[in-house]
Structure 1
Amino acid sequence: MSDNALAGFPARRKARKRAVDVLYEAEQRDEPIRRVLEDRRKLAVTDPQMPGIPEYTFELVDGVAEYLDEVDDVIARCLHSGWYLDRIAAVDRNILRVAAFELRYREDVDAAVAISEAVKIAEVLCGEDSPAFVNGVLQSVSELEKK
């Protein structure tokens, strides 16, 4: 997605979307998440064509990297029978990771905001069924976190 497509996004949504990009790239390249984040940071500094990386993106990516097993576990517990984390489309999976991290570890982010932002990103990046899927899983994550 070009920066022009992000033009209407609020700053935190842009940061969330960039976090999804980094997580997706790390997964596709089969490289450590933090290494990909650092590569992106270096590229943003050396290449004037590359946009900068918002501080909130660093916080999200670093948090997901630190708690990846726990985040994946909570998502997996909220999937319907027959669904597994590795069966979910990679972009959807990484949107879920960012939002589940926010729901579980970021007290400064309201649950409704984390879910809404994830759905809006899914509307832009994913297939037509993805926003409803992302919403349903994250509603379950949110309920699980309240217990």
Structure 2
Amino acid sequence: MKKAEPKKGEVKRSEPKANRRGAARLAAVQALYQMDIAGTGLNDILAEFESHWLGREVEGDQYLPAEAAFFRDIVTGFVAEQRRLDPVIDETLLNGWPLKRVETILRAVMRAGAFELDKRRDIPARVVVSEYVAVANAFVDRNETGMVNAVLDVLARRLRAGELDPAG
């Protein structure tokens, strides 16, 4: 399996329990990346990640135990909403830069973030944006995380009108 490799190493087991959702987000982005790159089907990717990656040591890296139900919700939820959410992300990208031309890992980050902003109203928009910027930071440099931040911020204001004040 080709896995998106974080540039700063994996999350360590000593991280607080609260980071199980963060680990689920990271795994969801990796799963969406794998689906995009290799064309892996939904059921196969869920089975692979749940049995071989979440909370396991892989190639010397210890993966933090993730909230498996949250991981599954993000991946299956995005796949179910992809036809609706991809055009929304496309409209948000500046200068007519289509989503299909965005680096695969960044596309996966934006997709997972867009799903959460759209469907997980129990999680504050600012938390969703911040968490996915942190996930992006594990894979790419600061300039590219700035793009993720900008796109998700616009999506948050669009998908959750009223939650974020205009002054931001």
The 3-state SS of whatever aligns with 1:107 is: coil
Amino acid at match of 1:64: F
Is residue 90–residue 98 contact of structure 2 (8 Å, CA) maintained in 1? yes
Say yes or no: does 1:140 pair with 2:154: yes
Is residue 89–residue 114 contact of structure 2 (8 Å, CA) maintained in 1? yes
- Displacement of 1:49: 4.5
The 3-state SS of whatever aligns with 1:81 is: helix
1:58-69 matches, cutoff 5 A: 58-69=72-83
Structure 1: runs of 5 or more not aligned: none
Residue 112 of structure 1 aligns with which residue?
126
- TM-score, length of structure 2 as denominator length: 0.76
Q: CA RMSD in A?
A: 2.2
Runs of 4 or more consecutive aligned structure 1 residues displaced over 4 Å after TM superposition: 48-53
Amino acid at match of 2:20: A
Is residue 23–residue 33 contact of structure 1 (8 Å, CA) maintained in 2? no
Q: 1:40-86 deviations in whole A, cap 9, x for unaligned?
A: 334459xx745665321111111111111112121111011230001
Structure ranking higher in helix proportion: 1
Residue 13 of structure 1 aligns with which residue?
22
The 3-state SS of whatever aligns with 1:67 is: helix
Indicate the structure whose relative CO is greater, using CA pairs within 8 Å and at least 6 residues apart.
Answer: 2
The 3-state SS of whatever aligns with 2:95 is: coil
Amino acid at match of 1:20: V
Q: State the aligned residue count.
A: 144
- TM-score, length of structure 1 as denominator length: 0.86
Say yes or no: does 1:54 pair with 2:67: yes
**Residues 79/58 of structure 1: CA separation in 2 closer, same or farther (3 Å cut):** same
Q: 1:64-118 deviations in whole A, cap 9, x for unaligned?
A: 1111111212111101123000111111110111111000011111100000001
The 3-state SS of whatever aligns with 1:5 is: coil
The 3-state SS of whatever aligns with 2:122 is: coil
Is residue 22–residue 36 contact of structure 1 (8 Å, CA) maintained in 2? yes
The 3-state SS of whatever aligns with 2:145 is: helix
Q: 1:2-61 deviations in whole A, cap 9, x for unaligned?
A: 8x721247111111000001111111111223331223334459xx74566532111111
Structure 2: runs of 5 or more not aligned: 162-168
